Amino acid sequence: MKFRILGCAAMAAALLSSCGQKWTSEDKGSHIEVTQKKGATLGYSSKSGVQILTKGGYAFKDLNRNGKVDIYEDWRKPAQQRAEDLASQMTIEQIAGLMLYSAHQAVPTEEISEAQMKFLTEDNLRHVLVTRVGSPEIAAKWSNNVQAYVEGIGLGIPANNSSDPRHSAGENVEYYVGSNGDISYWPSSLGIAATFDPAVMEQFGKIASEEYRALGIATALSPQIDIATEPRWSRFNGTFGEDPDLSTDMARAYVDGFQTSEGDAEIDGGWGFHSVNAMIKHWPGGGAGEAGRDAHYSFGKYAVFPGGRLADHMQPFTEGAFKLNGKTGMATAVMPYYTISTGIDTKNGENVGNAFSDYLINDVLRGEYGFEGVVCTDWGVTKDNRAVNSFGTTSWGVEHLTVAERHYKLIKAGVDMFGGNNDKGPVLEAYQMGVDEMGEEWMRARMEKTAVRLLLNVFRLGLFENPYLDVEQTKATVGNPDFMKAGYEAQLRSIVMLKNKGGVLPLAEKAKVYVPEVWVAPRAAFRGNAGAGARPQQPQQQPQGHWELPVQAETLAKYFTLVKTPAEADFAIVFVDAPANGTGYDPADVAKGGNGYMPISLQYNDYTATHAREVSLAGGDPLESFTNRSYKGKTVKTSNKDQLDLILKTRKQMGSKPVIVQVDVNRPMVMSEFEAAADAILFGFNVQKQAVLDVLSGKVEPTGLLPMQLPADMQTVEEQLEDVTRDMRCHVDSEGNTYDFAFGMNWKGVINDERVAKYK
């Protein structure tokens, strides 16, 4: 079949050359590629049944197999016009499928699974959330197989594959100049924010978008631009910190980097083959959960605004991601958070999850701020919740509705997509509810409007013309040496030095260093469709706990002389993680007659919530018989107090010799428990240990700044307001320095440069 098609194409090229045919074709193995003079490059599968039509000498894909070039098949037409034409041809069943966003999909091999074939075919789903992939090569081959499969179905709409963030650095993965990786390694979002340089963020976006497209990923479920004003929030690490201005600039830079194509990669208006749609989250800001509890669970369903600062939380959206410097102008998609933004809807008086709020979506997001892009729910908001501590079943405020009724309410509120739903059935039921209430003409128009929004994000990226990947090019792009180097340099710039008593750092080359082993507790790992943001399944017990060096001995030996005892050492370096502090809820407390609600601690030592509220600001759940979620007077333990003990033990063992503490940080923490015992302190935000050693050894000077405050104690944490930025008393160290927002040190002392002047 391939040979016959190619033969026909070659014959056609010869016969029509005098008539001005402007295209030729070549078999690339996974697909056939059509190139044309001053025209779009096309890619199609010989197995899909798609043929090439010639019009005006140019080639076009006959995606719906009707023998003519439809407007949506004409790459010369504007994307808006093409999207409108295609939407008008779609059945309600096809539009319903387009509105689905798949549950998390692992890609261990290049083959499409039976479950994936089912939702692509029977449910018309075209938006696939990819988690773990076997390798870049496997990802590219799987993507090509998916695109060939859906090209032969219905109207030939390509898949719009997506991903949660996937550029996290492995702590003990070594970096070598000129080396490749499975993907480039960068600090966490909080770490890039610690550079206080939006140019670094934009560089990340440009590189990450090229890697995403090379993996077949066209939409990023990021950035997370919530203002993290609540220091106990478990998702603090995914944000740009707690400051509205810094977060606004970082959000703008991130989206510009991801969405903008330049040069030969640009198709039109900044969009093109390096562009990745950015789905900014979480509207209108999820960083104000009461007492730091997270809304993946019913016990964290309420966001509160005691300081009245909702506008600060919306600022990174309205002034950042909606006002880009680049040609694409505005982020293409928005994801509301699970939370009920308590008391915010003064128009309808509804306390419902943000995605269900007609006021927050239609009136504010679409009406007041003119957002006409895609609104996609977070995963699982239409599912029934069966326990206060269940994960990922989050129909907050609409628990009384049926699954189909929730879909209909979302549609009426202005939502376009249903995260984590592979089944078109409830969408079709919702459509019928709309027909019954509003009439078929109104409901069809509403669904078509959503279809146009969704299709625009596919047309603008060139996927209708050529969604296929060159596997060798994928292997050359993803994690290439230049990208690895940029990521590593960003890691170095993100490291914050908080303390350097007596100029103990940098350490002398080959100094005798003692590094205490850390206890690695046994843990349950999970298998199945696990990945970034995935719901864990099937616990599988890992080996017993054990002691081990936190950094590989071979790596340490490249910088220092590693000794076995404190007595032999000139210095000690203690590597620890921030306090592991729980979720704010414990079923064991319920079993004892309590309400289940517990403090979330930012310190290692046991913590009793003496200063917590007597009465919570929000509360109530169909599964609870009370509304007061206070935990005042309760005591909570962290699971890694042994790390504090390790610091203090090492201090005692070293006597007067210097102790350096390096903390892997994911949110603010109380420093008073160990700061005085440390001569130097470095914060790392999900960086390779090698980057930390480069700073400790003086190969690189620290330049990072704190993107958040570090509280003086837990009392100030309890007394701060969840929605107000920078409202805590900060820790003052033994050298008289205050660990406030924008604080950091270099070899000369406290940094006071243009970044500090701009943001502090």
Residues 131 and 162 placed together within one structural domain of the fold: yes
Q: Report the C-alpha gap between 608 and 591 in whole angstroms.
A: 20
Give 411-420 pLDDT, tens digit per residue: 999 999 999 9
* Residue 321 near residue 335, CB atoms below 8 Å: no
By CB atoms closer than 10 A (0-12, 13-18, 19+), residue 593 is: exposed
Range with the poorest average pLDDT among 309-318, 540-549, 603-612, 702-711: 540-549
**Confidence grade of residue 523 (pLDDT, cut at 50, 70, 90):** low
Residue 6 pLDDT greater than 50, yes or no: no
Residue 58 carries which side chain, given as an amino acid letter?
A: Y
Residue 175 pLDDT greater than 80, yes or no: no
- Please report, for residues 30, 576, 636, the alpha-carbon distance to residue 471 in angstroms, rounded to integers and kept in the order given: 9, 40, 51
487 domain-assigned: no
Q: Report the C-alpha gap between 18 and 136 in whole angstroms.
A: 43
Q: What is the DSSP letter of 186?
A: B
Residue 9 pLDDT greater than 60, yes or no: no
Coil/strand/helix, residue 338: coil
The alpha carbon dihedral of 608, 611, 612, 615 has a sign of positive
For residue 89, what are its two tokens? 């041809």
Q: By residue range, what is the domain housing residue 87?
A: 80-477
**Confidence grade of residue 181 (pLDDT, cut at 50, 70, 90):** confident
HEC assignment per residue over 710-745: CECCHHHHHHCCCCCCCCCCECECCCCCECCCCCCE
Under 8 Å CB-to-CB from 333, ≥6 apart: which residues? 219, 277, 278, 279, 280, 373, 374, 375, 376, 457
490 domain-assigned: no
Q: Report the C-alpha gap between 641 and 743 in whole angstroms.
A: 26
**Confidence grade of residue 179 (pLDDT, cut at 50, 70, 90):** confident
Q: Report the C-alpha gap between 150 and 147 in whole angstroms.
A: 5
Q: Report the C-alpha gap between 46 and 246 in whole angstroms.
A: 50
Q: Report the C-alpha gap between 248 and 238 in whole angstroms.
A: 15
Give 71-89 pLDDT, tens digit per residue: 999 999 999 999 999 999 9
Q: What is the DSSP letter of 749?
A: E
Residues, the chain: 760
Q: What is the CATH number of the domain that holds 507?
A: 3.40.50.1700
Residues 312 and 301 placed together within one structural domain of the fold: yes
Least Cα distance to 597 among 353, 310, 289 occurs for 289
Give percent of the chain with pLDDT exceeding 70. 94
Q: Report the C-alpha gap between 685 and 744 in whole angstroms.
A: 14
**Can you name the residues that pair with 168 across neighbouring β-strands?**
186
Residues 571 and 712 placed together within one structural domain of the fold: yes
378 is catalytic: yes
Under 8 Å CB-to-CB from 567, ≥6 apart: which residues? none
Q: Report the C-alpha gap between 548 and 41 in whole angstroms.
A: 54
Q: Report the C-alpha gap between 87 and 447 in whole angstroms.
A: 9
6 domain-assigned: yes
CA dihedral 194, 671, 518, 500 (to 10 degrees): 70
Q: Report the C-alpha gap between 110 and 116 in whole angstroms.
A: 12
* Residue 157 near residue 458, CB atoms below 8 Å: yes
Give the pLDDT confidence score for residue 535 in this predicted structure: 36
Kindly name the residue from 249, 345, 378, 723 that is annotated as catalytic: 378
By CB atoms closer than 10 A (0-12, 13-18, 19+), residue 405 is: middle
Residue 120 carries which side chain, given as an amino acid letter?
A: L
Among 31, 50, 69, the domain boundary falls at: 69
Residues 547 and 635 placed together within one structural domain of the fold: no
Residues 368 and 415 placed together within one structural domain of the fold: yes
Under 8 Å CB-to-CB from 508, ≥6 apart: which residues? 570
Rounded to an integer, the average pLDDT of 26-33 is 95
For residue 592, how far is the Cα from the chain centroid?
38
**Confidence grade of residue 169 (pLDDT, cut at 50, 70, 90):** confident
Residues 340 and 228 placed together within one structural domain of the fold: yes
489 domain-assigned: no
470 is catalytic: no
For residue 644, what are its two tokens? 């504090």
Least Cα distance to 282 among 168, 361, 359 occurs for 361
Least Cα distance to 183 among 200, 206, 208, 203 occurs for 208
For residue 280, what are its two tokens? 């900014």
Q: Report the C-alpha gap between 638 and 603 in whole angstroms.
A: 8
**Can you name the residues that pair with 512 across neighbouring β-strands?**
561
For residue 236, how far is the Cα from the chain centroid?
12
Residues 25 and 154 placed together within one structural domain of the fold: no
Give the pLDDT confidence score for residue 178 in this predicted structure: 72
Rounded to an integer, the average pLDDT of 268-286 is 97
Give the pLDDT confidence score for residue 11 in this predicted structure: 40
Residues 202 and 333 placed together within one structural domain of the fold: yes
Q: What is the DSSP letter of 507?
A: P
Give 300-327 pLDDT, tens digit per residue: 999 999 999 999 999 999 999 999 999 9
Q: Report the C-alpha gap between 171 and 185 in whole angstroms.
A: 10
Give the pLDDT confidence score for residue 4 in this predicted structure: 33
Coil/strand/helix, residue 335: strand
Residues 135 and 250 placed together within one structural domain of the fold: yes
Residues 189 and 251 placed together within one structural domain of the fold: yes
Give 230-265 pLDDT, tens digit per residue: 999 999 999 999 999 999 999 999 999 999 999 999
75 domain-assigned: no
144 domain-assigned: yes
692 domain-assigned: no
Least Cα distance to 341 among 310, 384, 375, 374 occurs for 310
- Please report, for residues 170, 411, 431, 521, the alpha-carbon distance to residue 446 in angstroms, rounded to integers and kept in the order given: 45, 8, 10, 53
H or E element that contains 165: none
- Please report, for residues 125, 330, 357, 411, 434, the alpha-carbon distance to residue 429 in angstroms, rounded to integers and kept in the order given: 16, 33, 20, 12, 9
Q: Report the C-alpha gap between 85 and 459 in whole angstroms.
A: 12
Q: Report the C-alpha gap between 312 and 284 in whole angstroms.
A: 10
Give 456-506 pLDDT, tens digit per residue: 999 999 999 999 999 999 999 999 999 999 999 999 999 999 999 999 999
How many Å from the N-terminal Cα to the C-terminal Cα in the chain?
66
HEC assignment per residue over 349-363: CCCCEHHHCHHHHHH
**Can you name the residues that pair with 128 across neighbouring β-strands?**
161
For residue 326, what are its two tokens? 């680049």
- Please report, for residues 63, 613, 632, the alpha-carbon distance to residue 595 in angstroms, rounded to integers and kept in the order given: 58, 15, 11
Output the pTM of the full model.
Answer: 0.94
Residue 2 pLDDT greater than 80, yes or no: no
Give the pLDDT confidence score for residue 519 in this predicted structure: 83
Residue 540 pLDDT greater than 60, yes or no: no
Residue 121 carries which side chain, given as an amino acid letter?
A: T
Give 527-537 pLDDT, tens digit per residue: 333 333 333 34
* Residue 493 near residue 203, CB atoms below 8 Å: no
Strands (E), 204-250: 219-220
Rounded to an integer, the average pLDDT of 723-743 is 98
Listing DSSP states for 541-567 in one string gives EPPPPEEE-SS-HHHHHTTSEEESSGG
Residue 15 pLDDT greater than 50, yes or no: no
Side-chain half-sphere of 488: how many Cα atoms within 13 Å? Answer: 26
Kindly name the residue from 62, 123, 243, 694 that is annotated as catalytic: 243
For residue 709, what are its two tokens? 């405050």
Give the pLDDT confidence score for residue 528 in this predicted structure: 33
Range with the poorest average pLDDT among 175-179, 181-185, 236-240, 329-333: 175-179
Whether the bond between 223 and the residue before it is cis, its omega within 30 degrees of 0, is yes
Residues 465 and 573 placed together within one structural domain of the fold: no
Residues 523 and 437 placed together within one structural domain of the fold: no
Q: Report the C-alpha gap between 232 and 38 in whole angstroms.
A: 55
484 domain-assigned: no
Instruction: Look over the chain and give the mean of its residue pLDDT values, rounded to a whole number.
Output: 93
Give the pLDDT confidence score for residue 207 in this predicted structure: 98
For residue 248, what are its two tokens? 């606004």
**Confidence grade of residue 538 (pLDDT, cut at 50, 70, 90):** very low
Q: What is the CATH number of the domain that holds 344?
A: 3.20.20.300
Domain count across the chain: 4
Give 55-71 pLDDT, tens digit per residue: 999 999 999 999 999 99
Give percent of the chain with pLDDT exceeding 90. 90
CB atoms near residue 45 (< 10 Å): 20
Place of tokens 């414990």: 586
